[in-house]
Structure 1
């Protein structure tokens, strides 16, 4: 019932005690030759899919759009959900929901306008898929492989630690 302060207080207490989930959102972006866009972060070694962590209460699709705009100056209007991966706690980290979206194929003009913009990306490059996959960290590679399969068969996937269920 709207305006029920007792119920709202009860729900707020429950909300404060319940687990919070971290979320990451990455994008599959290709050029017209079918090559996959990877970015080289400045804060760790190796290559990644473009994207990043969601902020508090930010929808995953908004997070990937924001990250693409901040990191590469790329504005994406249309996204298609490909897969989500529940990753168990590891190292110092709690569990994570890792989303992958299809951000489409860039024209040569769009690709030429990409520009690392927020200091988190030192460079970007389009790689043949067979070259790109081994460059990705294990967890992200598993998501990318499944996301690429979704591009082929059109069936979105739920993964658990990179394995489709």
Structure 2
């Protein structure tokens, strides 16, 4: 017989058991940041090949927007306000990785002072640069490139996108 909320201790133990056996998702949260010319910020991670959008992985029980803000603070010394959600992408298992949920948020436009003083703040990044929006898609890995292109569409029309492994359901 299942416990009920009438017995709070038994009910919480029952819920905790269910929580322990349910699937857990990795969560990634990136941000599109622009300079006054509309160019997009790219970062060069030291732990994987190629350019990337700024952001990173959420910690346990951390909200995606909080993860993005924390990663920007740790890696670039930026304290930004996450403006709005642009993309949610369910990423299928690949290589050694289980599936994950990847978010892209709008981080707005950096001030000239932020742009001129921007540099990596820890060993996870080797370089930063700004690139024209159309060029960015060509330097990102395929899956992230598709996610980025959906984010650009969301920036234009104001409608967030849901993707499955980088592909629109429409």
TM-score normalised by length of structure 2: 0.94
Does residue 16 in structure 1 map to residue 23 in structure 2?
Answer: no
Does residue 28 in structure 1 map to residue 32 in structure 2?
Answer: yes
Give the equivalent residue in structure 1 for 2:111: 107
Give the equivalent residue in structure 1 for 2:71: 67
Question: Is the 1:26–1:64 contact (alpha carbons within 8 Å) kept by the matching residues of 2?
Answer: yes
Q: Provide structure 1 residue ranges, at least 5 long, that are not aligned to the other structure.
A: none
Residue 145 of structure 1 aligns to a residue in which SS?
Answer: helix
Give the equivalent residue in structure 2 for 1:117: 121
Shift of 1:118: 1.5
Compared with structure 1, are the counterparts of its residues 16 and 32 closer, same or farther at alpha carbon in structure 2 (3 Å cutoff)? Answer: same
Question: Is the 1:41–1:122 contact (alpha carbons within 8 Å) kept by the matching residues of 2?
Answer: yes
Compared with structure 1, are the counterparts of its residues 2 and 68 closer, same or farther at alpha carbon in structure 2 (3 Å cutoff)? Answer: farther
Question: Is the 1:133–1:144 contact (alpha carbons within 8 Å) kept by the matching residues of 2?
Answer: yes
Tell me how many residue pairs correspond in the alignment.
Answer: 165
TM-score normalised by length of structure 1: 0.96
Superposed, 1:2-151 pairs within 5 Å as 4-151=8-155
